[in-house]
Structure 1
């Protein structure tokens, strides 16, 4: 299907034509779709960055989404002079809330983590600046179920950041900061509700109250649920604009969407945008699913953009990735998205200066890369005490009986196809291994102790695959080729390799199956007693 025909289909659907059932088609429709795809131009390809990782900037004045590949959900973006900063939900990863930097909205590199103290799972944060000070407002559930909004602050975006302050805004998520026409600070939260803050931004100054009754889509649209969430606000001219997500974050590909409202006062009344929804996946054939949780941001030369998250068609395992779409302001004072077919390259924002993008995942453990690359999954408050650096190695003290009850050290990935390997050396009666890890109920991998090589699939040890180990040192390689996983291991540090006897298919390890809004990460576990010494981790993306 050509770009024009895709646009015609999607526009007709948006105008009220019947929406096809996701995942279903008549034989005639399927034949027509197959014929159309046969005439498609070659699929646009991402640029190759560090270690072959995919990169949005194509080097010719255009870019291809995502701007940050892999699990970077609920983006919050701050324009700070000529600089842009962005952060994301970090969930159970600690250290967490990694802040990224850009000067052109397309190339992004990490600055570092802002939060080291575990607060349980962390959802959509809000990064803002007020009176020269940086703030991150954090919805967190330290006990796993009781939500509250916390705040951290810093005078320099690089830190140091303060310890979390509990604002005691209970049962709320998705904060969005704004200064009203009265000069007072407010947080909007899911619902959509608002609460006034004290001038220092570190305590509330009033009660939580309803703020806006969001626009509702037709009842026959295929969505997950209503779920008004992710309020992000800006003031432009005489208007406040409120951008909200509805439709549910996961579920069907067509669920999540972006809507907008505006008001001359932060206290309302708010009027719905006549073009709602501004962004929505209309068909499962599109490259990006469940598009929502957007923020508007002004580009370096004064053009406007929308940043939001979504799932990649066929690769929900990578989590929700970050997209950039151009926006235009219309004569009636509203705005609209104009990216069109997001499987194609788009012109880059004007006036920006390209900077570094991403970072190498390969690690010789000569530097502490916790937070930016390595994070413990769902750690206890003292989890970092398990880790110690030695020359050329990171040593992780053993904990638990195996990968099902030991917090692994995880590393996020953003490529559809990749290969990673690591050398593991056992101390004492430890067991270690290399995993693809979603959570403790969903992982696959290969591990070993001094006696046995073990296989983990569907989060369980497969006893029938147990082999002899006879070593305390093993180099393990994992290859993920479009969700088909192959393991190899070497007893001579990579000189010769043995193919592991079981391949695994992991495309079902995602939010719709296991919940938690996570992604499938590389993981290393250290269980039993003693410790596991991690050395020479290498990563490379494989060509498509």
Structure 2
């Protein structure tokens, strides 16, 4: 039934994989895997599932690579169960599940508490018919929690074998993961992902099982999978890792939140998708549409979808979390930043590959990003990049003597003729993967960089890292670089949250 308004996916653009969502009264709260970014676990709020606003970061300093979480409410308190993966800068030696908790979704959130669960990821919280709390994890295995949810009360045990798709389906790997659980009527529903989260476009998918008891046995949906990319011609690839929630309208209105890669734009990472769910007569959830790539009837009462916005940042304040985050930060990384006549970023490392740049997400096909770079007080280099990870990036830097050009994650031999200066304004345009650079000295005219780059291959299947291509500011060496007058301009005015 049409609601009179429509929306288009994604509902939250840019690289925001493994969405976790909870309904709290008339509001929805959502976060997603923040991986090696700090701050981590950015929390967004919505009243209509279509338009989302940033509220806060639940994890100022992650203790590892932050994978797919689950949000739960119990006894009037909120919990986020977090799998951390070892990184070179963490003290972890194995995948480890932690928990943070707070009196409200706005916090304040506790420090991470180690639950002692090792070797698994993707926790999903549920309260059983016995009143006890459980975490289901990748595998699918299960472990009981103490009543306060802050420690375990047993051991991991295997509880579900998953649903097996035909062997001739083209997927990345079986990879039973992402269990999310909810109770509706007399049934417990277990929503999982199989098929692998990257790889071929037709890999990832959403499967469902149900049981009258949290202890099983689990019966697979007769129409599994309920969502899957069936053909590479579709707009959204690798659809999976879903959560089902009741809608803002009637109790019978349900929606599915998942993630997917946009056809032709894997560089943007896995973006958050919304699609309607209907219930069969025998109590199974079904996808109400076959392809979430077009205009979709919005939930009841939804506002018009927000358009993409230009960003102008004079760094009078620092929008950490909302806009900026460090990539692969060491403990205390936030101490590198201070605001003094712009954004002062202390140098780190010897080059782009080991400098932990400040990055921002984007979900636009085409955009321009511009910033003034002042390296007067830096013994090293600073500049503006499009950054995927420390092995793959492109862009420009200055060291007071020359321009440093990067492409494919390596320093180019191209010697761009520039005025000898400690301060230049740099601009990068990414026009549907075609990247062009410009620079200008104070009061001068814009000059185009002599080399353009093509970046459609800057994505997970190329590098084996589940990230995205993002604008970034970097400073390497000793001393400080200063960044002023940052501007981000979307060039394709599609609706955006």
Band the TM-score falls in, shorter-chain normalisation: over 0.9
Q: What's 1:54 paired with? A: none
- Does 2:481 align with 1:537? no
Counterparts of 1:120 and 1:502 in 2: how far apart (Å)?
A: 37
1:353-502 equivalence runs, <5 A = 361-391=311-341, 393-426=342-375, 427-492=377-442, 496-502=445-451
Residue of structure 1 equivalent to 2:225: 277
The yes-or-no answer on 1:510 pairing with 2:454 is no
Indicate if the aligned counterparts of 2:144 and 2:154 stay in contact, CA closer than 8 A: yes
For the 8 Å contact 2:388–2:470, the answer to whether it is kept is: yes
The number of equivalent residue pairs is 484
Flag structure 1 segments of 5+ consecutive residues without an equivalent: 1-58
Query: In structure 2, how many angstroms separate the alpha carbons of the residues matched to 1:71 and 1:428?
Result: 32
**Aligned pair partner of 2:37 in 89, 93, 112:** 93
Mapped contact 2:50–2:302 kept (Cα < 8 A): no
TM-score of the two chains, using structure 2 as the length reference: 0.95
Return the alpha-carbon distance in structure 2 between the equivalents of residues 233 and 341 of structure 1. Answer: 24
Of residues 236, 249, 271, the one that matches 1:288 is: 236
Report if aligned partners of 1:511, 1:517 keep a CA contact under 8 Å in 2. Answer: yes
Distance 1:70 1:97, change over 3 A: same
Secondary structure of 1:429 counterpart? strand
Distance of aligned partners of 1:354 and 1:234 in 2 relative to their CA distance in 1, 3 Å threshold: farther
Q: Alpha-carbon deviation of 1:428? A: 3.5
Write out per-residue CA displacement over residues 154-210 of structure 1, whole angstroms, 9 at most, x where no aligned residue.
112112211100101101110111100011111110000110111111110111001
Is 1:184 the equivalent of 2:132? yes
Q: Secondary structure at the match of 1:508?
A: coil
Instruction: Note the C-alpha offset of 1:446.
Output: 0.5
Structure 2 residue 168 is the aligned partner of structure 1 residue 224: no
Matches of 1:78 and 1:352, distance apart in 2: 18
The 8 Å contact of residues 327 and 337 in structure 1, kept in 2 or not, is answered as: yes
CA-CA distance at 1:114 after TM superposition: 0.6
Q: CA deviation at 1:60?
A: 6.1
SS in 2 for 1:371: coil
Deviation, 1:401, is 1.4
1:171 aligns with 2:119: yes
For 2:117, what is the secondary structure of its paired residue?
Answer: coil
Deviates more, 1:114-123 or 1:312-321: 114-123
Moved more, 331-340 or 242-251: 331-340
Write out aligned runs for 1:105-254 (5 A): 105-143=49-87, 146-254=94-202
Shift of 1:353: 5.8
1:75 matched residue in structure 2: 19
**Which of the numbers 286, 289, 292 marks the counterpart of 1:342?**
292
CA contact (8 A) 1:173 1:189 kept: yes
Output the CA distance in 2 between the equivalents of 1:366 and 1:120. Answer: 30
* More displaced 10-residue stretch of structure 1: 137-146 or 434-443: 137-146
CA distance in 2, matches of 1:281, 1:138: 28
Ranges in structure 2 where 5+ consecutive residues have no aligned partner: none
Secondary structure class of the residue paired with 2:206: strand
CA deviations on 1:461-491 (whole Å, 9 max, x unpaired) are 1123343441111110010000110000110
Task: Tell me, yes or no, if the aligned pair for 1:430 and 1:531 is still in contact at 8 Å.
Answer: no
* Cα contact 1:280–1:290 (8 A) shared by 2: yes
Q: 1:165 to 1:361 in 2, by over 3 A?
A: farther
**Is the contact between residue 256 and residue 275 of structure 2 (CA under 8 Å) also seen in structure 1?**
yes
Deviation at 1:361, TM superposition (A): 3.6
Cα separation, 2, equivalents of 1:428 and 1:226: 49
CA RMSD in angstroms, aligned pairs only: 1.6
Shift, 1:368, TM fit? 2.4
* Match for residue 28 of structure 2 among 78, 81, 84: 84
Equivalent of residue 208 in structure 2, options 240, 260, 267:
260
Q: Distance in 2 between matches of 1:123 and 1:349?
A: 29
* Residue of structure 2 equivalent to 1:331: 281
- Check the 8 A contact 2:386/2:395 in 1, yes or no: yes
More helix by proportion, 1 or 2? Answer: 1
Instruction: Name the SS for the 1:224 alignment partner.
Output: coil
Distance in structure 1 (CA, Å) of the matches to 2:124 and 2:235: 29
The 1:458–1:143 alpha-carbon spacing in structure 2 relative to 1, beyond 3 Å, is closer
Query: C-alpha displacement at 1:143, in angstroms?
Result: 3.7
* SS class of match (1:317): strand
Per mean C-alpha deviation after superposition, the further-off stretch among 144-153 and 196-205 is 144-153
SS at match of 1:395: strand
Query: Corresponding residue for 1:34?
Result: none
Task: Tell whether the 8 Å contact from 1:193 to 1:208 is kept in structure 2 after alignment.
Answer: yes
- What CA distance in whole angstroms lies between the structure 1 residues aligned with 2:213 and 2:33? 29
Q: Secondary structure at the match of 1:404?
A: helix
Note the C-alpha offset of 1:337: 0.3
Is 2:475 aligned against 1:526? yes
Shift of 1:273: 0.2
